[in-house]
Structure 1
Amino acid sequence: MLLGFTFSLKISIGGRKASSRRKRKEGMRDAPRTPLFLEFMDREMKHVRRRCRQSTCDNYMTARRSFAAFLGGADIPLREVTPQLVSRYSQWLSSRGVSLNTSSCYMRSLRAMYNAAAVKHRIRRCSPFSAVFTGNVPTRKRALGEAEMRRIGIADVEEDTVRSWARDVFMFCFYAMGMPFADAMLLRKSRVRDGTITYLRRKTGREVTVGIEPCMERIMRKYAGGDADYVFPVPTGDRFPGGKGYARLLKCYNAALKVLSRDVGLCLPLTSYVARHTWASLAYRRNVPLHVIAQALGHSSPRVTMTYIRELDGSTVRRANKKIIRGFTSATSVQ
Structure 2
Amino acid sequence: MASVKVKFRPSTVEGGMGSVYFQVIQNRVVRQIGTGYRLYSNEWDDGSSMPAELGEGEARADEVHGIGEDIRREKALLDNVVASLDSHGPYTADMVVHSYHRQDASLSFSVFMNGVIAKLRKQGRMRTAETYDSALRSFMEFRNQVDVTLDAMNSNLIVHYEAYLKKRGLKKNTISFYMRILRATYNRAVDSGLTSQANPFDNVYTGVDKTVKHALPFGLVKRMKDIDLTSDSSLEFARDMFLFSFYTRGMSFLDMAYLDRDSIQNGVLSYRRRKTGQTLYIKWEPCMQDIVDKYPGAENGRLLPIIKRSNNERRQYESALHLVNHKLKEVGAMIGVTSGLTMYVARHSWACAANSQDIPLGVISEGMGHDSENTTRLYLASLDNSVVDTANGMILHKL
- Specify the TM-score bucket, using the shorter chain as the normaliser: 0.7 to 0.9
Aligned positions of 1:13-92 closer than 5 A: 25-26=88-89, 32=104, 34-49=106-121, 56-92=128-164
Select 2:263's aligned residue among 181, 191, 209. 191
> 2:50 corresponds to which residue?
none
Unaligned 5+ runs, structure 1: 1-23, 327-335
| TM-score normalised by length of structure 1 | 0.78
Deviation at 1:115, TM superposition (A): 0.9
Counterpart in the other structure of 1:304: 375
Determine which of 352, 365, 382 is the counterpart of 1:281. Answer: 352
State whether structure 2 residue 217 is matched by structure 1 residue 148: no
CA contact (8 A) 1:236 1:248 kept: no
Distance of aligned partners of 1:174 and 1:227 in 2 relative to their CA distance in 1, 3 Å threshold: farther
Aligned partner of 1:109: which letter?
Answer: I
Distance change (3 Å), C-alpha of 1:28 and 1:87: farther
* Alignment correspondent of 1:112: 184
Q: Aligned AA for 2:259?
A: L
Q: Distance in 2 between matches of 1:223 and 1:320?
A: 38
Counterpart for residue 209 of structure 1: 281
Q: How far did residue 92 of structure 1 move?
A: 2.2
Aligned-partner residue type, residue 112 of structure 1: A
Matched, 1:270 2:326: no
- 1:225: how far off? 5.1
Contact 2:255–2:274 (8 Å) recurs in 1: yes
Q: Who is 1:251 aligned against? A: 322
Change (3 A) 1:250 1:98: farther
Q: Which has the higher contact order (CA 8 A, sep 6+)?
A: 1
When the two structures are superposed, what TM-score results if normalisation uses the length of structure 2?
A: 0.66
Quick check: 1:167 aligned with 2:239? yes
- Report if aligned partners of 1:188, 1:230 keep a CA contact under 8 Å in 2: yes
Identity in percent: 33
Instruction: Tell me how many residue pairs correspond in the alignment.
Output: 299
Q: Aligned partner of 1:213: which letter? A: E
What is the rounded CA distance, in whole Å, between the counterparts of 2:318 and 2:325 in structure 1? 11
Secondary structure of the residue that 1:273 maps to in structure 2? helix
1:166 and 1:256 in contact (8 A); partners too: yes
Aligned residue for 2:343, secondary structure, equals coil
The answer to whether the 8 A contact 2:155-2:201 is kept is yes
Query: Which letter does structure 2 place at the counterpart of 1:274?
Result: V
Distance 1:239 1:208 in 2: 27
Instruction: Give the direction of change, closer, same or farther, for the CA distance of 1:259–1:318 in structure 2 (3 Å limit).
Output: closer
1:291 paired with 2:362, answer: yes
Per-residue Cα deviation, 1:173-212 (whole angstroms, up to 9, x for no partner):
0000111110001111110122211000000110001111
CA distance in 1, matches of 2:312, 2:160: 32
Q: 2:196 aligns to what SS in structure 1? A: coil
Q: Is the 8 A contact 2:113 2:136 kept in 1?
A: yes
Of Structure 1 and Structure 2, the greater helix share is in: 1
- Give the partner amino acid of 2:144: G
Q: Which moved more, 1:290-299 or 1:61-70?
A: 61-70
Structure 2 unaligned segments of length 5 or more: list them: 1-86
| Residues 78 and 228 of structure 1: CA distance in aligned 2, closer, same or farther (over 3 Å) | same
Cα distance in 2 for residues equivalent to 1:45 and 1:239: 21
* Higher mean C-alpha displacement, 197-206 vs 212-221: 212-221
With over 3 angstroms needed to count, the CA separation of the structure-2 counterparts of 1:50 and 1:277, relative to structure 1, is: farther
Higher strand proportion: 2
Is the contact between residue 257 and residue 317 of structure 2 (CA under 8 Å) also seen in structure 1? no
Q: CA deviation at 1:315?
A: 3.8
Bigger-Rg structure (1/2): 1
Question: Using the alignment, how far apart are the partners of 2:218 and 2:395 within structure 1?
Answer: 23
